[in-house]
Amino acid sequence: MNPVVRGVAVYLFLLVVFRIMGKRSLSESTTFDFVLLLIISEVTQQALVGQDYSLTGAFILITTLISLDLIFSLIKEKFHLFGKIAEGVPLIVVDQGKPLTKRMRKCKVSEEDILEAARFHFGLEKMEQIRYAILEKDGSISIVPEKEKASIK
């Protein structure tokens, strides 16, 4: 099969599947996610290359993937809604120290995940010390500490 068609098909399929799986799947946070990404990359490699081991085939595939990425970034620039749908938008999961549990359940984020991010970035100890926790587009959690409480020793 034509490498361009293969490249486009694999790229689009992976894009849709990862969006369906949800944000957290890409953040490589657990062993399960790591194993999943490892295996998926191996399977993808076979589907992309097939039996074509030529240098030209590899160049065509790389060009295809980079062009697709470029095209998508141009579309995202032009149509903001497309970018929001394709990549998602950030979601606030903690507001003024209060975990927003319904949101957290929907996007599979636990309180432990948030506390881990809070410890990692700011050395925070408790949920009350977090002003905002945001689940970013790439699946990572960013923390805005509560100013006064963060400084309490």
Partner 1 sequence: MERIKPSLQLKDDIDLHISGWIVQRIGWVLLLLLLIAASLGVFGTGWLSAGHVAGKNGTVSFERIARFETPMKLVVQIEKADGDIEIRIPRSYLDCMEIDKIVPEPATQKAAGGSAIYTFDAEAESTITFYLMPESTGSIHTELTIDNTNFPIAHFIFP
In the complex, least distance from residue 150 CB atom to partner 1, rounded to whole angstroms: 16
Distance (Å, whole) CA 110 – CA 116: 10
List Cβ<8 Å contacts ≥24 apart for 64-69: 64/3, 64/4, 64/7, 64/8, 64/11, 65/7, 65/11, 68/7, 68/8, 68/11
Candidate segments 35-43, 71-79, 98-106, 112-120, binder of partner 1 by CB under 8 A: 98-106
Q: Is 149 in the site for partner 1 (CB under 8 A)?
A: no
Candidate segments 36-44, 54-62, 100-108, 120-128, binder of partner 1 by CB under 8 A: 100-108
* Other residues' Cβ atoms within 10 Å of the Cβ of residue 68: 16
Q: Is the CB of 11 or the CB of 132 nearer to partner 1?
A: 132
Q: Which residues of the chain form contacts with partner 1 (CB under 8 A)?
A: 1, 9, 16-17, 19-20, 22, 50-51, 84-85, 88-92, 95, 100, 102-103, 106-107, 132, 134, 144
